[in-house]
Amino acid sequence: MRHGKRRFAHIAVEDASPLDVAIFTRDRGIVAMVAAALRHRETLLAFQPVVQSQRPDRIAFYEGLIRVLDDTGRIIPAHDFIDAVEATETGRILDCVALETGLRTLQRNPQIRLSINMSARSIGYPRWMRSLRQGVQSDPTIGERLILEITERSAMTVPELVVRFMADLQTRGITFALDDFGAGYTSLRYLRDFQFDVIKIDGTFVRGVKDDADNQVLTRAMVDIARQFDMFTVAESVENVSDSRWLSSIGVDCQQGYFFGAPTVHPPWNSPSPQAARLHRAG
């Protein structure tokens, strides 16, 4: 039997392209790196401000972005590993750690709102659900200050489950954001059924939008859709004043991006970004 398994694996590798083998090897290494960081508790959140479009010197909330440390101590951002781990057990544990760290942050800082990313695959995961329940019960204000972000791609893997999950937790005051909106394949029927509170417009439509007529049309359409369904809008990846002002002019509620502040592992609660303050003064 063991010989048969080795033979099957040998055939699979032979049939795979060199690129497939390289990708598999890379992803396996990434999963191992993240798993090691979780075992050694070498994880942390980086915080990025989300500002009000009409008052960019005011922070609407912060997004808490999970980071891990590799074996040299380097801080590794989520985009370097999330695709490799999302569908694995390591991905579920990572979601738990992100949520637990976020809940502790909210408990220690009652003046802030915080969004935390999660995969739809974590819905029903015992540790994740237990951590959420305990965190919300520990402080009656935490549910009202917690925003859970689910990517469009993730939500569409189990849409009916996401709808039921959200409906239950929204009664407890928790806010839900549809992350990377426009980058996936959400049907309008599901968008209506989801009833997200917030739509975050994917950065591919936002970067350079002031000078891109096609993306202007698409961004306006997404803002109109959000208004129709009574959803709050956040533009992601805002990188300059021209794009920011154009987004404000079409009614985008909030903005997020390097123009207002890069993610930082040093909690910035009392230090609004200088870019935001300058933009507000400039009008």
Is the four-CA dihedral 142, 174, 204, 68 of positive or negative sign? positive
Residue corresponding to tokens 């300059």: 240
CATH code at position 51: 3.20.20.450
Q: What is the pLDDT of residue 175?
A: 97
Written as tens digits, the pLDDT of the chain (283 aa) is 334 433 334 445 456 666 665 665 677 889 999 999 999 999 999 999 999 999 999 999 999 999 999 989 999 999 999 999 999 999 999 999 999 999 999 999 999 999 999 999 999 999 999 999 999 999 989 999 999 999 888 988 888 999 999 999 999 899 999 999 988 766 677 788 888 999 999 999 999 999 999 999 999 999 999 999 999 999 999 999 999 999 999 999 999 999 999 999 999 987 756 565 555 555 5
Closest CA to 60 of 278, 280, 283, 272: 272
**Residue (of 152, 173, 25) closest to 106 by Cα position:** 173
Q: Domain range for residue 215?
A: 2-282
**Gap between the Cα atoms of 94 and 101, Å rounded:** 11
Rounded-to-integer distance, Cα 67 and Cα 101, Å: 11
Provide the number of structural domains found in the chain: 1
